[in-house]
Structure 1
Amino acid sequence: MQTHVSGKSAILALVIVAVFLVSWELFLRHKGVVADFDDGPELWAHVRDQAYQPSDKAVVFIGSSRIKYDLDIETWESLTHTHAVQLAMVASSPRHILTNLADDPKFKGRLVVDVTEVLFFNRMRGNDYPDAGISYYKGITPAQRASFYLDRHIENRLAFLNEGHYAINAMLGEMHIPDRPMVYPFLDFPMGFDITRYNRQNVMNDDFIADTNQHNQVKAIWALLRMDPTPPTTGKPLDTIMNSVVRDVAKIKARGGDVVFTRTPSNGFFLDAEHHMYPREAYWDRLLKETGCQGFYYADDPVTAKLVCPELSHLTPKDAVTYTTALVSLLKQNKALGFQ
């Protein structure tokens, strides 16, 4: 008798859970939420494998979040007939990923390094996500690979699996409870701002693009980060960073690879702060001179110079197509990365 009751209880519990999950998914879909992918070490490691494609078949991109939004992968692949391998990471410096590729004797490909100065030249921050991705990639097991391939087929069908917005910690962070003194607040990005596709391209949705209130929400986060008292890197620490990048670039070129640098658009007070803290001649120009690489700074091209980021730091999907088209044109005009 007790077994019979326990069986009924188990069935009832399963029904309740199923009803809850279906209701939650339908509620999110009604709000316009779409299923996407968690941009964690698992997805990064999956794409990292693609860096070994023949150099005439693929180009690898590393950087911070801007190149994840501003490079439209479909446009790139249509215009260049090469695969775009997106290895950039949000809120991160690409230098550790550059070193990882440079120290990998199997990587002999073409590389685009996007520079967001406040992260690229930062000695203190911006390495947690790259280090986690690299560590996961080096130690990945067959079971983890199998789990990823099974999970991806579920993840892109169910919106509530979005860990960045609907995990418990993420939802608690969005409760807008006043912070205690000296506690750094949760960076509450709108749901439509950071949609991640399977190819790791990030996009804004139409709702975010049309809503200036959401733009201002993200601008407020940038204004908060602008208050960071950490001074820009100068002197010997900057020399150390430059020497590290020069060394890594030289390793890749010595194996037959190639490297170019890009600087994607930013606007408003964000750009003003970047110009003030990281003057172009002391950072960007020096970087190109010491590495001997070509560089493509958005402000130097009349097409990309006019692009406006709705929240000051990232392009809309439509403008990402414009930027990518212009970038491909510049690469071909300058015969960079072997493009003609």
Structure 2
Amino acid sequence: MEKSILKSAILMLVIVAAVVVGYEIHLRNRGLEVSYDDGPALWSNKRTQVYGDKEDQVVFIGSSRIKYDLDLDTWNQLTGIEAVQLACVGSTPLPILKDLANDPEFKGRLVIDVTEPIFFSSLPFFLDRPTKNLKYYHDHTIAQDASFRLHSALESQFVFLDEENLSMNAQLSIVPYIVPQLQDRPGAFGGPIFPIEFGRTTFDRQTYMTDHFVADTAQVNMVKGIWAGLAKMPMPPPMNDQQLLAFIQDIKKSTDKIKARGGDVIFVRTPSSGDFRQMELAGFARPRYWDQLLKVTQCPGIHFEDDAATKNLICPEFSHLNLADAKTYTKAFVRILSQHDGWDVQSEKLLTKI
């Protein structure tokens, strides 16, 4: 009896192992690479790393564009300086800015990416992800740290552990797109479902779209359709002049705290193109939003439209650069950034090696 049970258990293990290996091979044959869960645990891990020497690191916050457009390999090759990526997709960076401003131990250099429809918005949805990340960071336990290290070690080896796209919950979320009867009822919104190849995430939290995604018109158009759908959703009325000034002055309180401790703050406007850029120009005129943000906060800024190397970059789905153009953008960004006082990150020694 015991031998029979043992044989059954061994057979079951063999079957499970075969299924797992087969699924992993299938995913890799599709061209998918390992992608890390870009959740609170990974974000918290990076948040702990903001206390390095000012000259040795730069911290980045913002929305998804800086996660796509800052190519960390290129950055490292050009600067030799650690880039701490704390931006959150689909989110405003302002809660993270306030957290860093209220942290007396943070005295470093901070780059703030500005995506106007998110940055200058009061929608609670845009606060959700950074708020959850910050709560996890401030409340996480030793047991959670140990779990993160174990999970990350496994994630580094297996594509199928992509929780955001390949977990059971992720697969179930796709069902309404396949079965029309299960789609959101009127007035309800379950959130957009992006193609898996649109967003792959490294352990350093850089996000990138695969070459196959860029070449697949159907997938690209799917993301364009998501942006078009989100643009049609009801939004709060735009801020009047007094409200906008108060909004920016609140930001200034945070940037002033960081600068008062010896830190540096710079704003960056990463590329967008096509219909998305036209929508931004119509709703967020540069003099009223971007220019006033720099004027009130007294912080420098880098706008992609101000440099010949970046102003004509085309985003495949209007809002994020592909990996090849991210490398181009990062080279230009490092060059421009190094022209600002306190931001000399460009290493002439490393430049001769690439």
TM-score tier (shorter): over 0.9
Distance apart, 1:74 and its partner CA:
1.5
**Match of 1:140, as an amino acid?**
H
**Secondary structure, in 3 states, of the residue corresponding to 1:259?**
strand
Alignment match of 1:297 (pick from 296, 303, 307): 303
Aligned to 1:282: 288
**Contact 2:81-2:345 within 8 A present in 1 as well:** no
Identity of aligned residues (%): 47
After TM superposition, the score normalised by the length of structure 1 is: 0.95
2:80 maps to what in 1? 81
Alignment of 1:69-218 (within 5 A): 69-124=68-123, 125-175=125-175, 176=177, 177-178=179-180, 179=183, 180-184=185-189, 186-218=191-223
* Residue segments in structure 1 that go unaligned for 5+ positions in a row: none
- Aligned partners of 2:237, 2:118: CA distance in 1, in Å? 10
- Whichever residue aligns with residue 171 of structure 1, its letter is Q
Classify the secondary structure of the residue corresponding to 1:253: helix
2:227 pairs with 1:222: yes
Q: Distance in 1 between matches of 2:32 and 2:309?
A: 33
Q: Is the 2:122–2:236 Cα contact (8 Å) retained in structure 1?
A: no
Matches of 1:74 and 1:223 in 2, distance apart? 32
Distance 1:131 1:181 in 2: 28
Kept in 2, the 8 Å contact 1:118–1:232? The answer is: no
TM-fit CA distance, 1:231? 3.4
Structure-2-length-normalised TM-score: 0.91
Please say if 1:247 is aligned against 2:249: no
**Does the 8 Å contact 1:108/1:255 carry over to 2?**
yes
Question: Within 2, Cα distance between the matches of 1:272 and 1:336?
Answer: 34
Check whether the contact 2:74–2:331 (CA below 8 A) recurs between aligned residues: yes
Unaligned runs of 5+ in 2: 347-354
| Secondary structure class of the residue paired with 1:84 | strand
Question: What's the counterpart of residue 267 of structure 2?
Answer: 261
1:48-63 to 2 correspondence within 5 Å? 48-63=47-62
Indicate if the aligned counterparts of 1:265 and 1:304 stay in contact, CA closer than 8 A.
yes
Secondary structure in 1 aligned to 2:59?
strand
RMSD: 1.6
The aligned amino acid for 2:292 is R
Q: Is contact 2:61–2:85 with CA below 8 Å preserved after alignment?
A: yes
- In 2, distance between residues paired with 1:228 and 1:315? 24
Deviation, structure 1 residue 5: 4.3
